[in-house]
Amino acid sequence: MKENKETVRPVFPFTAIVGQEEMKLALMLNVIDPKIGGVMIMGDRGTGKSTTIRAIADLLPEIEVVKDDLFNSHPSDIDLMSDENKQALQNGINIETSYIKVPMVDLPLGATEDRVCGTIDIEKALTEGIKSFEPGLLAKANRGILYVDEVNLLDDHLVDILLDSAASGWNTVEREGISIRHPARFVLVGSGNPEEGELRPQLLDRFGMHAEIRTVKDPELRVQIVEQRTSFDQDPKKCIQNCEEDQNKLKKQIVDAQLLLSTITIDYDLRVKISQVCGELDVDGLRGDIVTNRAAKAYAALNGKQTVNSSDISKVITLCLRHRLRKDPLETMDSGEKVKKVFDKIFDIEEI
């Protein structure tokens, strides 16, 4: 086991990443509450999108799984275990468990539907009467993070499949009358460069959050980023050791927030104001309201608070709503600014 650890490629520490606070916050909140619905990260090339996503997966504590299970099944949570394990649990069979790192699955651009969803071996089913399933990337990503780089270049049909699985927490594969279902609860993270084309509005709306990142302009900050990266490339071990204390502190903060999340409350009048903001911004559907409520609770949990206040909402509302606004080609104001303006108006006027 030790030998294996040495051969694993070192991952840049999450706490060593300079700047890009919006992206880091969106990822942390989704890890605390995966039901937020994932995050779409849009930004310039070379802004550390992939590095940050790999770093958050590496930061998370190991999870307990059913040993040698193809779907990283949870040993006791029925929503996160395969039907076979559920059956075994109901029959009182003792389930052996082990610990693994949180799965981080990269979806290649050229992936086929079979590679994503998995395939059923029809021949085996017909000749031997056995349901033989070759798991796909959705099975591997259960209870982890599924990362799609250049999601705006991915086939719309595949994006639909990913979003459906992320929303329902299950993946169903049907072929020739044979059906197999398995848990697929993961944080979906998409990234892309707006210059290469936008995602369709109805697909964009399905992502819980939308983080926009820009190239850092401040020369001192740029130097700091270059120095951090250079020191990691020269001696990854030393860089990881230097960040160990900060990493452990943040890891504990995230774990505590996950445990605290179910107890957090948000007052009725604040929920009404969130819906007022969504109404004034003419946001279609209720997804914006739901996600903002969830994200505000996750943000309060991250800061160890029991109740949500308006400053918690202000930190997350732009991330939750900016991609849900109807685009007006003549509009000069950035969508994030628009959300902030309406938020300030509704929250401040009524609180003065």
**DSSP string covering 95-133, please?**
PPEEEEPPPEEE--TT--HHHHHEEE-HHHHHHH----E
Q: Spell out the domain ranges in the chain.
A: 19-60+101-213, 262-351
Q: Which CATH class is domain 262-351?
A: mainly alpha
How is residue 195 written in tokens? 């210059």
User: What CA–CA distances, in Å, run from 230 to 88, 156, 164, 235, 333?
Assistant: 51, 38, 40, 9, 38
Domain 19-60+101-213 is classified in which CATH homologous superfamily? P-loop containing nucleotide triphosphate hydrolases (3.40.50.300)
Q: First CA to last CA across the chain, in angstroms?
A: 61
State the pLDDT at residue 330.
Answer: 52
C-alpha–C-alpha distance, residues 6 and 169, integer Å: 34
State the pLDDT at residue 1.
Answer: 40
State the pLDDT at residue 350.
Answer: 47
State the pLDDT at residue 274.
Answer: 93
**Which stretch of DSSP H or E encloses residue 153?**
none
- Please identify which of the residues 143, 185, 206, 287 carries the catalytic annotation: 287
Cβ(30)–Cβ(209) below 8 Å: yes
- Do 262-351 and 19-60+101-213 fall under one CATH topology? no
Q: Where are the alpha helices (DSSP H) in 217-308?
A: 219-234, 236-242, 244-260, 268-280, 287-302
**DSSP code at position 207:** S
pLDDT tens track, the chain, 352 positions: 444 444 567 888 888 888 788 899 999 999 999 889 889 998 877 777 888 888 898 888 888 888 888 888 888 888 788 878 888 878 878 888 888 888 889 888 888 888 898 888 777 766 766 667 888 899 999 989 999 888 888 888 888 888 888 888 888 888 777 788 888 889 899 888 877 777 777 778 888 999 988 887 888 888 888 888 888 888 889 988 888 899 999 999 999 999 999 999 999 999 999 999 999 998 888 889 999 999 999 999 999 999 999 999 999 999 999 888 877 655 544 678 888 889 988 887 544 3
State the pLDDT at residue 264.
Answer: 93
Q: Give the angle subtended at the CA of 106 by the CAs of 102 and 112, to the nearest 5°.
A: 130
Confirm whether 324 is a catalytic residue. no
